[in-house]
Structure 1
């Protein structure tokens, strides 16, 4: 088998869908009309990824409002002005905050997976938001009649059901998006918040058996929104040793945009254990320049100096345009980068003498 390669999740939405989202928000487009356009965009995404030779497909999150907030779309008991996430270019994303309990997901990720399955019989990956990210919804002050402890119990149950539903629906792999991991070290340099995040995620992951955890993964990156990041300046050395405590079989690690990727690879090598695979980022969605397949190949060969080939995979650093209103990256640019990743990974497989799967 050749070195595996997978997308992270988000793909920029077509221009027509972007316009439709605005019209829907203004009440000029029905829910049904929007859903039809979202399904068309997902079908097109799947078809284009298949044409590029991607061994594992995603729907591009065409129907998600964002990678982070899909479970709470339509949830009563939310108020604005929750935790703020500042990006390096000065713009800010802000989460809502919870005002009442009990906490329940309104949308489960398996619904996206089942919709995507109607359009392809290829292996499908499904991204879900890590429970640690949603833990930020609980405000600093207590909610009357609904303690933080009760909220975290409900959250863990809901996150487990979200993941389990995707596994039962036939996901090739379920990826927990954990972009808040690196960010937590900026919010709390002591590392205590990160420890809480790891513990909460492992509380959920520990409910799955060994065979199930082999189909689970976690993605980390410094965020990506409007061609900017929120935590690229945070040293990976503070995150990675704790990240590898997570009880999953796959790790998807942003690397292409790192200033010193070999240093990061050395940290990863120190944390390797049997039975896991590390997918290293070989394309940078924030960089408008398209990597060449040869550049991707060389990044893979560098990684193979530190990670055994049978534990190595490749991915994009982050999703492309993970928020629905982000138009900074074009759809064609994203697919060009993905094509370079797929082809470059194949070149690296050949250079390393790894058999390539027959097409």
Structure 2
């Protein structure tokens, strides 16, 4: 049976309920270290509460009609710290501070030994998701390059060597996630565009090592940052590291385009990859009409064939009100259906 055209999906996260997380705390930071104070539920009951929240996310994505769903990342404080702080060689309890060009201080884990994966981190998450839906499922992992940019190295003295150990850890986890039932594996690599010069040196090599030997579809996601953190006026009109991803072994590349309105001519440089194209603007509090979504999909189809395009939101939906996120997913599905009917 042929795969459906214009399969809809999400990047990863979905809004966590107010009874699960303190959204005021959540809105102030994308944590690199653990931020346990974000949770409103006491530790003895937290896993059960996260399971319940995951069921809500699954049902919302199913009700919206998505073709490929995730667990909404309900168990995560951020897209990266859940996995990154679970590795050996990391001291997240006594963090260092990194100061940005603007003077902003961010606590980050210290790398104090060789990076190793000591245990499965997201296997139970996939097992739970697989047991509670008949839909194709995707699970996300932070990419090796991005994790290497979010720490203070006090052990390696060699960024590439550290990044390759992150890649090995990701690869071990990814293989276990496939065994647990994952249909798609996605690496989140937003820092590729933050540090493109270093990325050009070894990021493709690290991504390929992280995805080595996987037999399911694989995705690399890059973006300009959450809309709640990086407003539209601050986003550039193009990616500084994108054509290079054509050299990865990932079958799909996921990019943001609705909010920053990038020149979609860059999509031709990714051939023969499939592209998860952001057609939902997460900076806009208004829910798109299906017609607006369809127009954005049609714009992508000027550069990609329908079998190469997967409509999606720009980025994770973690920071949106849940009603808004659900409405935007429905518009995504209905907009894709409009274009699919036009294609016959």
TM-score range, shorter chain: 0.7 to 0.9
**Mapped partners of 2:39, 2:317: distance in 1:** 27
Q: What is the root-mean-square deviation in Å for CA atoms of aligned residues?
A: 3.1
**Mapped partners of 1:26, 1:180: distance in 2:** 24
**Mapped partners of 1:285, 1:73: distance in 2:** 28
Deviations 1:234-276 (A, max 9, x none): 45353221122221111111111123x4x2x212113312xx3
Is the Cα–Cα contact under 8 Å of residues 298 and 339 in structure 2 kept in the other structure?
Answer: yes
Is the Cα–Cα contact under 8 Å of residues 98 and 105 in structure 2 kept in the other structure?
Answer: no
Deviations 1:296-352 (A, max 9, x none): 00111111111111212211100012xxxxxx5211111111111111011111122
Is the Cα–Cα contact under 8 Å of residues 250 and 277 in structure 1 kept in the other structure?
Answer: yes
- TM superposition shift of 1:282: 0.5
Q: When the two structures are superposed, what TM-score results if normalisation uses the length of structure 1?
A: 0.81
Task: Mark the CA change 1:70 to 1:27 in structure 2 (over 3 Å): closer, same or farther.
Answer: closer
Matches within 5 A, 1:231-310: 233-234=235-236, 236-259=238-261, 261=262, 263=263, 265-273=264-272, 276-310=273-307
The match for 1:169 is 180
| Unaligned stretches of 5+ residues in structure 2 | 26-34
Q: When the two structures are superposed, what TM-score results if normalisation uses the length of structure 2?
A: 0.85
Deviations 1:3-45 (A, max 9, x none): 2111111011011101499896399954231111110000011
Task: Mark the CA change 1:72 to 1:319 in structure 2 (over 3 Å): closer, same or farther.
Answer: same
**Mapped partners of 2:39, 2:170: distance in 1:** 31
Task: Mark the CA change 1:147 to 1:192 in structure 2 (over 3 Å): closer, same or farther.
Answer: closer
Is the Cα–Cα contact under 8 Å of residues 20 and 34 in structure 1 kept in the other structure?
Answer: no
**Mapped partners of 2:173, 2:143: distance in 1:** 10
The match for 2:213 is 208
The structure carrying a bigger strand percent of its residues is 2
1:192 aligned to which of 193, 198, 203: 198
Is the Cα–Cα contact under 8 Å of residues 98 and 137 in structure 1 kept in the other structure?
Answer: no
**Mapped partners of 2:40, 2:101: distance in 1:** 32
Structure 1 moving runs of 4+ over 4 Å:
19-24, 26-29, 82-87, 90-94, 146-150, 229-232
